[in-house]
Amino acid sequence: MEQTAEILRRLRAGEPVGIAEVARRARVSIATVSRVMNGVSRKASAETVERVLRAADELGYRPAHPGRALRTRQTRLIALLIPDLTNAFYAAIAKSIEASLAQQDYAMILCNTDEDPAAQDRYLAEMQAHRVRGIALLGAVATPGLALAMRRDTPVVFVNRKSPSGPGIFVGIDNYAAGQAVARHFLEQGYTECAAIHGPLWSTASRARFEGYRDALKAAGRKLKPCHTLEAALTMEDGLWAARRMLGCSPRPQAVFCGNDQIAYGVFRHCRELSLRVPDDIALFGFDDNPLNEWLAPWLSTIHVPSHDFGPAVLLAFKQLWEPQEGQPVRDILLDYSMMLRGSA
Amino acid sequence: MEQTAEILRRLRAGEPVGIAEVARRARVSIATVSRVMNGVSRKASAETVERVLRAADELGYRPAHPGRALRTRQTRLIALLIPDLTNAFYAAIAKSIEASLAQQDYAMILCNTDEDPAAQDRYLAEMQAHRVRGIALLGAVATPGLALAMRRDTPVVFVNRKSPSGPGIFVGIDNYAAGQAVARHFLEQGYTECAAIHGPLWSTASRARFEGYRDALKAAGRKLKPCHTLEAALTMEDGLWAARRMLGCSPRPQAVFCGNDQIAYGVFRHCRELSLRVPDDIALFGFDDNPLNEWLAPWLSTIHVPSHDFGPAVLLAFKQLWEPQEGQPVRDILLDYSMMLRGSA
DNA sequence: TTGTAAGCGTTATCAA
DNA sequence: TTGATAACGCTTACAA
């Protein structure tokens, strides 16, 4: 049994088993093995199926993805580009997407861009080379590479932050409406000095949030004072920096809209430095709702974005792109946000 | 120019450009293109190199990974299995590893296991099918699939938590020593009632941390009271649950060793419920040092694990496994931890 | 129902 | 220095 010896050698060496070995062991052609493994039924007798399956099982055979990919011109790979994995909100979205993909036997390649446009373009090109079946772009930045990628036939889904260039399917919340909701809440609470530390305006999401907030205030006859309006990166460090600039000016704001939770954490730190109580002395309002808030930031009201819902939605978006329905235009998927009010004892 | 028309068609359709197109455009054979792209120098004239490179650039050509993988029997894929992406400490490690891999042109497949043994085995098998060049196992669980994977020739690196089965290269801190350090700190502070809410003992890391702590206490003549010792999952929920059980017993502990920061957060929540001040009324000590601690948990002392150092270390570990040096045994890579003391005013 | 054989995009061997 | 060509592991017409 020379072939058996070969199989044993490969198993011992830890080398993966190929379709040919399975075919030999089941005494059928490799074509039959392939058909059985792919469940192309009505094409093999029950007895053959059984023999093949047993042989595959005994050898621990699983079809090699690279071979399959080459032949079918399709991988089971999806890329997720993410600005910052250590932002727990982004991480929660990534987790949700990964879970949905794994369920459909897709593997997720994770690319951390650090909001760096050059890095985004490098990844975009590299993912094309990997022949991924789709790219989920969490926190897209306008770049030449992105424009190029949109021309290729690899589907791109914009997650949480809309396409900076206009066209492109989007999954996320209505940030403008959410921004308005924050303003209305402040008005209801009777705050007269409302401020904003918003995210970078080149980010479609940050811009929409801020504009919603500003417009709703204006609609109520309130205007944001210049010294009550600041732009910051979506980080704690920048939040702290902004707070140091803003909380010194008079009158001190009673309520601060923050572009995201991270910014709010930074502001909170300065409040601690000033011995200001949140929200009694000054109210903070964030965006996203980091899962840790419930435990570590019970003082932070925020717009809760349902991170768990992103996975199924992104999958749905890809499916729309993969199998376009006649007369069924591809549409954005809007998720519901909610107001998470905390600390108002 | 019929070939030009074809190229344009493919570009318009967004289809990827193949090596053949580049060859045609540069008027050389595909073999030459391949050699040039792979930098197999001394094998092509400077003029040819230049022509090929220009053609490739104009067409935006990048070698397709699946084809390359099939031929070379090697991918540029690494899998990272992670227990919980929403744990910011794990996420920070993942980020560090991804950055190091990307620098070497490896793409990282992210698999979230949720500490589920069955999920771990599913991923392990699937990653073999993807022919990944290595598997980084963050938080390994003892399973049949893991034993199987260790027999195969895909390198496995155990990250943060040692192999449950003994052999296997490890990257992380000396958890036993760190546990001892916590105990010594408590002793120095003069706490007489020391407790422990440790992680699951099947986790090699949790066990080492706890045993170091317990042994160091014992060496100082202190024994952990049964009601001051509790096992919890590494989650905030379980920390809260454990705190509810433990803080009721008398005498109330003055200092609590927590298996990781998440557990400490849960305990902290119960302290708030009881209006206990941390660390004045009760000191908490965590493990890992979630990056958010600096901002949201200034009351939490913890063992700082250098998450940024994992990437380079994991890469080094893989390189040892890929290119074994004669007479140079593969060795674990121990990272330095440090004590992060906070809130002791 | 099963097998033969072509081909997916590369790399690497061998000749020229 | 270059080019023709076989192989990598798999799927899928097409033939039997």
- Residue pair A302/A289 in contact by the 8 Å Cβ criterion: yes
Distance from A199 to chain B by nearest Cα, in Å? Answer: 19
Tell me the β-bridge partners of A107.
A77
| CA pair distance B135, B150, nearest whole angstrom | 10
Picking from A251, A234, A232, the residue whose alpha carbon sits closest to that of residue A243 is: A232
Across the interface, do B292 and A102 touch by the CB < 8 Å criterion? no
Confidence of residue B232 (pLDDT cuts 50, 70, 90): very high
| CA pair distance B14, B98, nearest whole angstrom | 28
User: What is the pLDDT at residue A11?
Assistant: 64
Q: Which two tokens stand for residue A6?
A: 């070969």
User: What is the pLDDT at residue B2?
Assistant: 46
Residue B165 backbone phi and psi in degrees, to 5:
-105, 10
Distance from A82 to chain B by nearest Cα, in Å? Answer: 10
Chain B: residue whose CA lies nearest to A265: B295
Kindly report the number of other CB atoms within 10 A of residue A311's CB atom: 22
Q: Which two tokens stand for residue B140?
A: 């390994």
Residues with CB under 7 A from strand D: A 18-20, 30-31, 34-35, 37-38, 40, 61, 63-64, 66-68, 70-72; B 27-32, 35, 42-45, 47-48, 70-71, 73
* Enclosing H/E stretch for B195: strand B194-198
Q: What's this model's pTM, rounded to 2 decimal places?
A: 0.95
Across the interface, do A295 and B60 touch by the CB < 8 Å criterion? no
Contacts of B342 in chain A (CB under 8 A): none
Residue B179, pLDDT > 90, answer yes
Residues with CB under 7 A from strand C: A 27-32, 35, 42-45, 47-48, 70-71, 73; B 18-20, 30-31, 34-35, 37-38, 40, 61, 63-64, 66-68, 70-72
Residue A61, pLDDT > 70, answer yes
Nearest residue, CA→C1' of C5 = A31
Chain B: residue whose CA lies nearest to A10: B152
Quick: pLDDT tens for A150-167.
Answer: 999 999 999 999 999 888
> Where do runs of H (alpha helix) occur along B227-343?
236-246, 261-273, 293-296, 310-322
Quick: pLDDT tens for B48-91.
Answer: 999 999 999 999 999 999 999 999 999 999 999 999 999 999 99
User: What is the pLDDT at residue A250?
Assistant: 87
Q: Which two tokens stand for residue B76?
A: 């540029």
Quick: pLDDT tens for A203-218.
Answer: 999 999 999 999 999 9
- Residue pair A164/A150 in contact by the 8 Å Cβ criterion: no
User: What is the pLDDT at residue A329?
Assistant: 86
Picking from B21, B15, B28, the residue whose alpha carbon sits closest to that of residue B1 is: B21
User: What is the pLDDT at residue A1?
Assistant: 41
E-only strand ranges, B50-132: 77-82, 107-112
* Enclosing H/E stretch for A197: strand A194-198
| CA pair distance A13, A9, nearest whole angstrom | 6
Tell me the β-bridge partners of B81.
B111, B137
Q: Which two tokens stand for residue B201?
A: 């003992």
Residue A6, pLDDT > 60, answer no
Q: How far is the CA of B20 from the C1' of C14 (A)?
A: 21
Q: Is B27 left (phi over 0), alpha (psi -120 to 50) or beta?
A: left
Residue A344, pLDDT > 70, answer no
Residue A116, pLDDT > 60, answer yes
Query: Among all chains, which residue has been given the structure tokens 């021309």?
Result: A151
Tell me the β-bridge partners of A81.
A111, A137
Longest pairwise C-alpha distance within chain A: 90
User: What is the pLDDT at residue B344?
Assistant: 64
Quick: pLDDT tens for A252-310.
Answer: 999 999 999 999 999 999 999 999 999 999 999 999 999 999 999 999 999 999 999 99
Kindly report the number of other CB atoms within 10 A of residue A297's CB atom: 25
Residue B94, pLDDT > 70, answer yes
Quick: pLDDT tens for A81-115.
Answer: 999 999 999 999 999 999 999 999 999 999 999 99
